[in-house]
Structure 1
Amino acid sequence: MTTFIFLGLGSFTSKSAIAVVTQIEETSGEVLYRSQVKLDDQSGKVWQVVLFKQVYPNQTSNINLRLVGFPGSAELIHPQPLRITSTTGKVWNAADIFLDEAPAPTIGQYNFTEILSQLPLETLTLSIPLPGTKFINISVPDHVVKEWQSILSIQ
């Protein structure tokens, strides 16, 4: 499961919203493209937001969004879909990849394979469900969404 090592927490001090697409090649022939950025939720807690595309030889590629809460973040419940909302109010739901248990209580991972191409190039709100009717809301700037869209064209 070495594929996900790169998704570690990294530095706790940066709150930058600059993301860059990077490419990682695995020995199995898998190529991984990722966009990684740290964003604050509505209460000021920092989240690592990683969109990644896994490309395997002679197979359909997968696109997932992983959210990693830094220490002090809320524990996520699984399986619960991630709600994505545009500035015009359009809503998409991304399926939770972790059907039973996540690697840590503050990690969520969601299937973006079908959703990414539908998202508009504008600021989006990611809403992570909590128990009851509460959500953690993370605003994703439009330049990050544009970077995510650039990953679609990579074969």
Structure 2
Amino acid sequence: MLELMLINVRKLVSILLLIILPLLLVMVSPETAIALIQQQEEAPGQILYKSRHSLRDHQGNSWQVILFKRVKNGEVKDVSLRLVGFPGSVTFNHPEPLQIVFSNGRILEAVDEFGEKAPGPNVGQYDLTDILPKISQADQIELNLSIAQTKSAIAVPSPVVLEWKAINSPG
């Protein structure tokens, strides 16, 4: 009986370790953010690095937030942030800039890359080439979106900022 209980306890401990250990690794290790970066070859000599997250704005609406960097023959061509809201529920005010608001009140504006030629009214894309180097890994930032219905803001979690910084690093 005691032997059977020990086997069950060992199984329970093993299961708990399998569940808890990966969670601890994600929470503790900054390298895990880097592992989420996707890399694909678009053409010979042209690589696209991409980070994709589903984040919620302060009203609870879900957004796809995609940062990507395009490198051609070792030279960075662009670093852009694409924001995609639920179709039919949001319309971006093109060509309004994206405001990036820091916790200390500083505001940077990213240029709308689509202007009037967005693939859909619920899609915005902004140039972060010159802005991302000004954001540190420790910064807490919020994206203020200019959409037709109302002002909307998305808080960007620190692990996502860390991932963006990893994408923007040389290479």
Q: Which TM-score applies when normalising by structure 2?
A: 0.74
TM-superposed CA distance for 1:73, in Å, is: 3.2
Deviant stretches of 4+, over 4 Å: none
Are 2:94 and 1:78 aligned? Answer: yes
* CA RMSD between the two structures: 1.9
Structure 2 runs not aligned, ≥5 long: 1-31
Q: In 1, distance between residues paired with 2:77 and 2:87? A: 32
Q: How many angstroms does 1:59 deviate by?
A: 4.3
* Alignment pair present for 1:98 and 2:114: yes
State how far apart, in whole Å, the 2-side matches of 1:117 and 1:59 are.
16
C-alpha separation in 2, matches of 1:27 and 1:112: 23
Question: Does the Cα contact within 8 Å between 2:97 and 2:126 map onto a contact in 1?
Answer: yes
Distance 1:43 1:143, change over 3 A: same
Count the aligned residue pairs.
137
Q: 1:113 aligns with which of 107, 116, 129?
A: 129
Distance 1:131 1:103 in 2: 17
Q: Find the aligned partners of 2:163 and 2:98 in 1 and give their Cα distance.
A: 20
Higher share in helix: 2
Tell me how far apart the structure 1 counterparts of residues 136 and 43 of structure 2 sit (CA, whole Å): 35
Deviations 1:7-43 (A, max 9, x none): xxxxxxxxxxx96211011234210001110000111
Per mean C-alpha deviation after superposition, the further-off stretch among 139-148 and 67-76 is 67-76
- Aligned equivalents of 1:58, 1:143: Cα separation in 2: 26
Aligned mate of 2:57, from 9, 26, 41: 41
After superposition, the Cα gap between the structure-2 partners of 1:131 and 1:104, relative to the gap in structure 1 and judged at 3 Å, is: closer
User: How much does 1:61 deviate?
Assistant: 2.3
Q: Deviations over 1:102-137 (max 9, x none)?
A: 1011000000000000013232100111349x4210
Q: 1:128 and 1:49, CA in 2 relative to 1: closer, same or farther beyond 3 A? A: same
Structure of higher CA gyration radius: 2
Unaligned runs of 5+ in 1: 1-17
Alignment partner of 1:88 out of 101, 104, 107: 104
Q: Where does residue 61 of structure 1 map in the other structure?
A: 77
Contact 2:144 2:153 survives alignment (8 Å): yes
**TM-superposition CA deviations, 1:45-100 (whole Å, max 9, x none):** 10000000000116442100000112453111111100001111111000000121
Q: Which amino acid aligns with 1:123?
A: Q
Contact 2:63 2:83 in 1 (8 A): yes
* C-alpha contact 2:69 2:167 (8 A) present in aligned 1: yes
**Equivalent in the alignment of 1:124:** 141
Aligned-residue identity in percent: 40
Query: What is the CA distance between 1:154 and its match in structure 2?
Result: 3.7
- For residue 89 of structure 1, what is the amino acid of its counterpart? G
Distance 1:43 1:112 in 2: 25
